[in-house]
Chains A and B, each alone.
Chain A
Amino acid sequence: MAIPEDCSSPALTFNRISVTRGETKILEDVSARVPLGGNTAIIGPNGAGKTTLLLALLGQTEYSGEILFSGNTTRPRIGYVPQRFAFDRGLPVTVLEFLVMGLQRKPLWLGIGRKYRERARTLLKAVQAERLEESHLGALSGGEMQRVLLALALQQDPELLVLDEPSAGVDVKGGKVFCELLEDLGRKWGFTQLMVSHDLATVTHHASHVICLNRKVIAQGSPDQVLSVDVLKSLFGIHMGVVDSGIIASPKKDFSKEEKGGDDA
């Protein structure tokens, strides 16, 4: 498949990625580019292989093909914000400990070094969650957890920030605020963003580049180029009522609730 030349310096190039599980082809010959510094969204229906493509990128699933990072195969520093952070909520861990555990060598039972404490505070401040420092991790709400996970991802000082469904489990307003926070952080920290999303409203508002995926790449380019009625029809098929009713022209509504039935991750 020809790769459009509109993005001159890609942060990331997927080159003919295929993933097969048993008999099922999950991804077929996916070639796409993620422009440097922008916010790229991968959209597609359930089962389109969006998360699988992320897992391939993160090196957590077998694939054929090639993923190039700024032209070579060395993986850059990646910060990852998972969709569902499944963990044992009864485990006693504070937010501060959570943010320090990946950096500090000295065990947490000997206390937290000042350097690491300061660093964790800076990160919490960056995601506007300073007040959560002493909170118990298991007691956080969906939106709070998302911010703490974003802080943990930022701790990697990422060149590439990968988010899986950032608007899942958060209400419409919360999702919007989170996306604005991401845009702001992307500018300040200078990382490239790659997100998987169900939510067309989020994508049209916040993405600078879109990859439409349904096992294959259906289209890619800037949102106004790509999010046409024809592309969305072939991507989502039966959900096209919402496009025909003109919502895409003025995308204010959150579609994710309709598709996923109010997913509470």
Chain B
Amino acid sequence: MMPDLTSLYDLVGWLLPLECLELTLMRRALLGLVLLAPMTAAMGVQVVNFRMAFFSDAISHSVFAGVAIGLLLSISPGWSMPVFGLAVGLCIMLLLRRSSLSTDTVVGVIFSGVVAFGLAVVSRDPAVSQDVEQFIYGDILTISDGDILGLFFLLAVLLVFQYFGFNRLLYIGLNAGLALTHRIRVGLYQYLFAGLLALVVVLTYNAVGILLVTAMLVVPAAAARNFSRSAGGMFWWAMLISISSAVAGMVISAQEWADTATGATVVLVAFTWFLASAVFGAFFNHSRKFH
């Protein structure tokens, strides 16, 4: 049974009484983006600290393979994509922890295998291969009530994880060996992080397309790094930049004069934030960069 989300969409319209948000479709899309933005912001902080941008790229490109598995096993891609993305994320983390190969090599190998498999299977099916454009650009307007509920659920899980894990993840990001010696459960946090990141990535791809998923994670966090002096500050800056970019990008893309793809516009706004942060960092925050 699906709860009625109409009043929630009305609230969005009441909060932002803009012409472009008169349709429920648009309100739903905006709500979807505003639910995604804090997730990508929070996880992005750790993606940047762990240098895992390439990892998130690999997961986002695994959506092809996720769809392919769905086709082969006759499962809805709505299920096969997140499950497969999760499996790929945990698999990469397992290899990273066990293998002597460097991070980019491990991720690169899995990345290629997964993308090749997905493209091979998907290309056999003309109906699916026509949808490839949607994979690449994403389409937030196709988001459903079910997706919105899924996003609410994941956001709740993620906030709990960030509440309990943020300090530990910072420790691990600074130096995993020292964290281990000082009795932090490094493995547990690394797997939890990889798994949740995979789920966030798979859900984000629908909004901005696979090419720009990593941008949603990395750009706000990178800008936040330039603005902030503390780890706590970096978290809030990333939140502010991510959510404001989502709202502004959605609204701008819906204007007649713009008429651009929503995902790309959101990322462009975030990128503008980054440029501003780089200027700010160069002038006001250089004291900590003298190494």
Contacts and interface: CB of A to CB of B under 8 A. Distances in A.
Chains A and B form a bound pair: yes
Interface of A: 58-60, 78-80, 82, 85-94, 97-98, 100-102, 104-111, 136, 138-139, 152-153, 155-156
Given A108-B167, A136-B287, A138-B289, A92 B233 contact: yes
A265 B51 CA distance: 22
Contacts of A91: 49, 173-174, 225, 231
Q: Which of A60, A92, A152 has the most CB of B within 10 A?
A: A92
A107 B163 contact: yes
A102 B162 CA distance: 15
Contacts of B291: 89, 138-139
Nearest to A84: B175
A108 B175 contact: no
A138 B163 CA distance: 25
A102 B181 contact: no
A80 B182 contact: yes
Contacts of B178: 80, 82, 85, 152
B64 interface: no
Contacts of B184: 102
A263 B133 CA distance: 54
B124 interface: no
A85 B171 CA distance: 12
A21 to B, nearest CB: 10
Nearest to B288: A136
Given A138-B288, A139-B287, 8 more contacts: A60-B177, A85-B175, A88-B49, A91-B173, A94-B229, A97-B170, A101-B231, A107-B163
Nearest to A149: B178
B222 to A, nearest CB: 10
Contacts of A94: 229-231
Given A92-B225, A107-B167, A109-B235, A139 B174 contact: no
Q: Which of B173, B232, B234 has the most CB of A within 10 A?
A: B232
Contacts of A139: 287-291
B231 A92 contact: yes
B228 interface: yes
Contacts of A98: 174
5 contacts: A58-B180, A82-B178, A90-B225, A94-B231, A101-B167
